[in-house]
């Protein structure tokens, strides 16, 4: 199987519990420590085999190989990847079976991460996932006070729209967000807006 490491928890001794998002599942596995084993890190894309051990409540993973990306050596890109991948574990905490859309969205982003701006990829991938889940909000109404939004708005967690004075958050031009939601592209957004939106996305779904 192939999957992204969403979370690593240290178990007894040097063993690990590894949560992996693969094509159809988000699942946790047990990994025994061995000196010859390669080091696992958050966000890695790995190939692995699953071994069901009857004595253990978690299946074990073995034969792990890491699919490296060039950007792993770029500190800022790696940090952004770590922060981005971290929002998926809470999103799927009570879910085991998932659509392949999530794996391929992450794979697509990971492949573009080297050449493209990682903050833009965070905003675009996050927007696409919200769309896929039918969670794109209508921008005409503030989710806090329920009244109409005119030309400026703020986005809060999950890209929900609110009045800047209701949310105490930075105001953004409404048209540019409408464009983002319609196209899933950050092309028309300046770097400051992208930075702002990526920080909102990184708060989670």
The count of C-alpha atoms lying within 13 angstroms of the C-alpha of 187, restricted to the half-sphere facing its C-beta, is 5
Identity of the residue, 8 or 144, whose beta carbon is nearer to Zn ion in the bound complex: 144
Q: Rounded to the nearest 5°, which phi and psi values hold at 73?
A: -95, 0
Which of 142, 153, 172, 180: binder of Zn ion (CB under 5 A)?
142
Do 194 and 188 contact (CB within 8 A), yes or no? no
Q: What is the DSSP letter of 156?
A: E
161 binds Zn ion, rule: CB under 5 A: no
Closest separation in Å from C-beta 61 to Zn ion = 48
Identity of the residue, 77 or 163, whose beta carbon is nearer to Zn ion in the bound complex: 163
Identity of the residue, 104 or 165, whose beta carbon is nearer to Zn ion in the bound complex: 165
Identity of the residue, 78 or 162, whose beta carbon is nearer to Zn ion in the bound complex: 162
144 binds Zn ion, rule: CB under 5 A: yes
Do 113 and 69 contact (CB within 8 A), yes or no? yes
79 binds Zn ion, rule: CB under 5 A: no
163 binds Zn ion, rule: CB under 5 A: yes
7 binds Zn ion, rule: CB under 5 A: no
Do 6 and 85 contact (CB within 8 A), yes or no? yes
Do 31 and 51 contact (CB within 8 A), yes or no? no
Do 189 and 197 contact (CB within 8 A), yes or no? yes
171 binds Zn ion, rule: CB under 5 A: no
Binding region for Zn ion (CB under 5 A) out of 6-14, 46-54, 117-125, 162-170: 162-170
145 binds Zn ion, rule: CB under 5 A: yes
177-182-186-187 Cα dihedral, nearest 10 degrees: -110
Binding region for Zn ion (CB under 5 A) out of 52-60, 86-94, 144-152, 195-203: 144-152
How many whole angstroms separate alpha carbon 44 and alpha carbon 85?
10
Which of 17, 72, 87, 166: binder of Zn ion (CB under 5 A)?
166
For residue 130, which of 157, 153, 104 has the smallest C-alpha distance?
Answer: 157
Q: Which positions touch Zn ion (CB under 5 A)?
A: 142, 144-145, 163, 166
């Amino acid at each position: 199987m192939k999957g992204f490491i969403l979370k690593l928890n240290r178990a007894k001794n040097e063993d690990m519990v590894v949560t992996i998002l693969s094509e159809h599942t988000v699942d946790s596995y047990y990994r025994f420590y061995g000196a010859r084993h390669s080091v696992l890190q958050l966000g890695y894309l790995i190939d692995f085999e699953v071994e069901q051990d009857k004595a253990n409540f978690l299946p074990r993973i073995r034969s792990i190989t890491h699919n490296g990306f060039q950007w792993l050596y770029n500190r800022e890109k790696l940090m952004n990847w770590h922060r981005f991948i971290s929002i998926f574990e809470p999103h799927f905490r009570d879910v085991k079976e998932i659509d392949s859309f999530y794996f391929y969205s992450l794979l697509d982003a990971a492949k573009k991460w080297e050449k493209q701006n990682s903050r833009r990829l965070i905003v675009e991938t996050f927007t696409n996932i919200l769309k896929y889940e039918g969670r794109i909000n209508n921008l005409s109404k503030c989710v806090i006070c329920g009244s109409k939004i005119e030309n400026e708005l703020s986005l809060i967690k999950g890209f929900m729209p609110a009045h800047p004075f209701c949310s105490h958050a930075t105001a953004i031009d409404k048209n540019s967000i409408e464009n983002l939601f319609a196209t899933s592209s950050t092309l028309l957004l300046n770097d400051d807006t992208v930075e702002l939106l990526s920080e909102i996305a990184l708060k989670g779904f």
